[in-house]
Amino acid sequence: MDVRGDFLVIGSGIAGLRAALALADAGDVVVLTKADPAESNTGYAQGGIAAALGPDDSVALHARDTMAAGDGLCDPAAVDVLVRDGARYVQELCDWGVAFDRAPNGDIAFAREAAHSVRRVLHARDATGREIARALWARVAAHPRIRVCDDALVTSLIVRDGGCVGVTFADREGAVRVADAHATLLATGGAGQVFRETTNPAVATGDGIAMAYRAGARVRDLEFVQFHPTVMNVAGAPRFLLSEALRGEGARLVNAEGEAFVSRYDPDGDLAPRDRVSRAMVREAQRTGAPVYLSVQHLSPAFIHERFPTIAQACRAAGLDLARDLIPVSPAAHYMMGGVATDLFGQTSLPGLFAAGEVACTGVHGANRLASNSLLEGLVFGARAAAAMVDGREVSVWPEPPCVSAPAARTLGADEAVPDDAGVRDLMWRQVGLLRDAEGLQSAVSTLERWEAASQQRLARTVQVEPAVRRTANLLMVGLLMARAALRRQESRGGHFRTDFPAHDDVHWKRHVAETATLP
């Protein structure tokens, strides 16, 4: 049986859940989510959510830090919305019972993270996303007008008369079904799985970006990927994020000699923006030929275990004591700054389709995201997109900052084998990773174009498509869009670093790379 609601939400992370709660006051909401409903980047968020609620803080200061991290490409109007509405919506989370950590006097205990000029990050120990999701799920479950369908893998957007009118999805038995609605929200999260090394869970395969692009929606800023510097790297153990809040509390990056090294490469030292710390680590590892480590040996073990229980447990599982051992770390793909381009209300360039959260490119992050601003973005823009969906707002002129196009796609009649996910992820890590150059990017684009063409042929030939085949097709599509944008941007800025163009170039590149598919 097919599914119908007034509103359709794809994804059950912070953006999808916050939107569903706002939409349910106005109509029947169907949430489609492809795995266990709790499986999302949101559930893994550790450090916290930023909001200008502290006594020494202001929305102006939060905006200033966000713009500085974004390295010249933030949209000031979007940042203003984020920090202003953000304070209000985070206060609402407190009212809804989210148990943020508090000081002994009952005041919220704000944490410090890199590139924030004050302590601004609300947190629930080191599992903030899980706690926020708990509170949102409690409200969603109690709402009679929200229906959640899990194991519902959305595979394409349905476009009729130039607008999105619903989606097709595969249910848990693999049957292809249709869901239609007045308005559809993509809240499908990030795309870390495009890279071999990532902090993201298995669901983060960029499906929303791939589906929106194929349906004709505009995508933007896809060259900007944030690589998180401190991911535990122990052979045989899962890559586990060691939150930046550790460095906020005084943790240091050291080389095999125990020497703190980041300030030799960067004047802001261990709390420099993530892209700069990541590059300092790569350079130090290349210089010494040895791994680099995170150390909290100079801090109180009792404090570390109390404040970071989840991280301590993950270290223990890998045979390490977070408080006493040097923890081997290396960078991994963590967050997508770019995505499906939207206006300030989540409206994409395709009428009827909205996007919010990590899948969207609202302009708040520019070339690099300020730590703990992404849960905030999902919360704020999930609620705003919902309000616009309820209003049935139609934008006649869709606003966009100055953009250039990515290189045009070539039409290929490829007949070669499509690689498995590992092949795509390995290529992306080696050639479209932390350090990029024209040669590697050009080679990646050529290979990915051939693989993508072959993947499309395979999809066209197959009636009952396996989820694994779709996943690979989406990884290929998103990887290709990233590689093309990275090749086009001939400068270094934020998360995008070109060894052949290591400097900023504001004259030519203070603008965005955007792409819209040419549909048949």
Ligand X SMILES: Cc1cc2nc3c(=O)[nH]c(=O)nc-3n(C[C@H](O)[C@H](O)[C@H](O)COP(=O)(O)OP(=O)(O)OC[C@H]3O[C@@H](n4cnc5c(N)ncnc54)[C@H](O)[C@@H]3O)c2cc1C
Closer residue to ligand X (CB): 45 or 344: 45
Residue whose C-alpha is closest to residue 103's, from 119, 118, 89: 119
Q: Residue 389 and residue 8: Cα distance in Å, rounded?
A: 10
Listed ranges 46-54, 104-112, 483-491, 510-518: which one lies at the site for ligand X (CB under 6 A):
46-54
x/- letters, 285..324, toward ligand X (CB under 6 A): ----------------------------------------
A 10 A CB-CB count for 517 gives: 16
Interface pick for ligand X out of 5, 129, 248, 494 (rule CB under 6 A): 129
Active site residue 274: yes
**214, 477 contact by CB (below 8 A):** yes
Closer residue to ligand X (CB): 322 or 444: 322
Contacts 24+ apart (CB under 8 A), 161-166: 162/350, 162/351, 163/350, 163/351, 163/352, 163/353, 164/215, 164/350, 164/351, 164/352, 164/353, 165/352, 166/8
Listed ranges 51-59, 83-91, 151-159, 275-283: which one lies at the site for ligand X (CB under 6 A):
151-159
Q: Write out the binding residues for ligand X, residues 8-37 only, by CB under 6 A.
A: 10-16, 32-35
**353, 215 contact by CB (below 8 A):** yes
Listed ranges 47-55, 69-77, 270-278, 337-345: which one lies at the site for ligand X (CB under 6 A):
47-55
Q: Residue 446 and residue 444: Cα distance in Å, rounded?
A: 6
Q: Residue 502 and residue 515: Cα distance in Å, rounded?
A: 24
Q: Are strands 3-4 and 29-32 parallel, antiparallel or unpaired?
A: unpaired
Closer residue to ligand X (CB): 4 or 410: 4
Residue 481 binds ligand X (CB under 6 A):
no
Residue 40 binds ligand X (CB under 6 A):
yes
Name beta bridge partners: 180. Answer: 4, 166
Least distance from ligand X to the Cβ atom of residue 358, Å? 4
What are the strands of the beta sheet with 146-149, ordered from one edge? 146-149, 29-32, 7-10, 183-186, 353-355
Q: Which residue has its beta carbon closest to ligand X?
A: 13
Q: How many residues bind ligand X (CB under 6 A)?
A: 45
**In the numeric block, which tokens belong to residue 469?**
């085949």
x/- letters, 189..228, toward ligand X (CB under 6 A): xx--------xx--xx--x---------------------
Q: Write out the binding residues for ligand X, residues 170-189 only, by CB under 6 A.
A: 187-189
Residue 385 binds ligand X (CB under 6 A):
no
Helices 467-488/207-214 angle, 10° precision:
80
Q: Write out the binding residues for ligand X, residues 324-383 only, by CB under 6 A.
A: 335, 357-359, 372-375, 378
Residue 248 binds ligand X (CB under 6 A):
no
The contact set with ligand X (CB under 6 A) reads 10-16, 32-35, 39-42, 44-49, 128-129, 152-154, 187-190, 199-200, 203-204, 207, 241, 335, 357-359, 372-375, 378
